Amino acid sequence: MPPKNSNPDFTGERHIFHYTFLFDAYEDQGFRTVWGGVLAAAEACMVWSFATYQVLVPYFIAVSALLFIVFYLLGEARERYFDMCLRIVLAFLAGFALYSILSRVLVWQYFGQIGATPLSDTYMRWGNAPVWECISGIVRDVRDVALARVLVFSRYYIFMTPAFMALAIAQGKKTGKKQYPLLILGVLIFVGSPFLLSAVLGNLVVIRACLVYPAVFAATVGLIPVLLSERFPQKHFLKWAAVALSGIMLCSQISISNRYAELVHATAEADVRFAHEIYMKKQEVLSEYGIGNGDWVPIVFAGKRRPEFPGCYIEPNHATGISFFEIDSGHVDGTGRIARMMCSTGMKTAEPSIEQFEQGMEDAKAMPVWPLEGSCRYNEELQMIVVKLSDDAE
């Protein structure tokens, strides 16, 4: 006799969750059937995603925990949920190990060192700062999310997360399924997953790396009406009230995300327009020296420039919605990124060397600020253009 399903409607829908992993980690027969090629493809995709953006590591953990919670609460009863968890963990560890090996090989090839990249070293605080500072960074990260100190975080998060935990654990107890502690562990991992990266780094996570938070918040808000319906099947008003409340919360969060998307778009357009002004001025200055094609001439940007937008626009946060000319000018790597941005839009410009950048910053001290006459000059000795964007150039 087949095991009883705690939610018959979930019987067909559960396959959606199965194929999220490209293999069926929850079915013994299915897992054995596709253990070969499909699982290898899944591992390859996992390594690819981890190498693309390391934030997808805690994202994978969060999604894995979420799928286990959903299957435990709404799926068919199983004898050994531990086997299910073990398969997911082993698949993750295999993919993460392969990613770690490949990343170290590439770091050694391109940077001549064994270990993390220079960018990773910048964010890693464990071992580079006192322990209390690392713990303080983690606590501040949790506090920013829980108390919505940054606009991208919802003020409802601190209420909905405990509500989801209580409902999920209570519903798990009600189902009477075996290995109940695994559900509790899964819920704790899922709720804590937005802070995994902060815990690993011992540092506050920049907003652009907070990919786990929106997934956890959306799933939490979306599952609460489902769990209430399972817990109180006769109280339809409670379920629909929760649906309405969840909709309001999600719409509020979507509105904030859309405002940031609007800001990013407007900033990108403003950067391209300003880059075109710089590019045309560069060609004008070079023509005075008899240089017709100045694509090979680098530009050194001294100071910063922030585009002006109406007051209705949301304020930038970290690197989200910040201009290239605000965050990347004033240091050699950033100036190079501006050059690459200009090249990507058809305005060919070379990247300055360290010597050119340092001399350009020195030249800028005696220059007026853009767009005044003389704010864009050509250095014949080092063959470069210097543009002064503000008086705070150092």
Bridge partners (DSSP) listed for residue 378? 385
pLDDT at 185: 92
**Residue 376 CB neighbours (<10 A):** 21
pLDDT at 189: 93
Q: Is residue 295 exposed (0-12), middle (13-18) or buried (19+ Cβ within 10 Å)?
A: exposed
pLDDT 10s digits, 131-185: 888 888 888 888 888 887 777 788 888 888 999 999 999 888 888 888 888 889 9
Q: What does the alpha-carbon distance between residue 146 and residue 140 come to, in Å, rounded to a whole number? A: 10
Q: What does the alpha-carbon distance between residue 370 and residue 304 come to, in Å, rounded to a whole number? A: 10
pLDDT 10s digits, 199-215: 888 877 777 777 888 88
pLDDT at 328: 63
The residue type of 361 is M
Bridge partners (DSSP) listed for residue 146? none
pLDDT at 365: 87
- Which residue numbers in the chain have pLDDT < 50? 1-31, 34
Q: Is the pTM of this model over 0.75?
A: no
Q: At what angle do helices 56-74 and 180-192 cross, to 10 degrees?
A: 140
Q: Is residue 255 exposed (0-12), middle (13-18) or buried (19+ Cβ within 10 Å)?
A: exposed
Tokens of 46: 């996992």
Contact 177, 71 (CB under 8 A): no
pLDDT at 184: 92
Pinpoint the alpha helices (H) of 75-156. 81-111, 118-123, 131-146
Tokens of 338: 């501006």
Contact 197, 55 (CB under 8 A): yes
3 state SS of 229: helix
Q: How far is the CA of 129 from the CAs of 30, 95, 133, 139, 140, in angstroms?
A: 48, 30, 7, 15, 16
Bridge partners (DSSP) listed for residue 350? 298
pLDDT at 350: 85
| DSSP-assigned letters across all residues of 156-209 | THHHHHHHHHHHHHHHHHHHT-S-HHHHHHHHHHHHHGGGHHHHHHTSPPPGGG
Bridge partners (DSSP) listed for residue 376? 387
pLDDT 10s digits, 317-357: 666 778 888 876 666 777 788 888 888 888 888 888 888 88
3 state SS of 381: coil
Q: How far is the CA of 92 from the CAs of 63, 89, 382, in angstroms?
A: 12, 5, 52
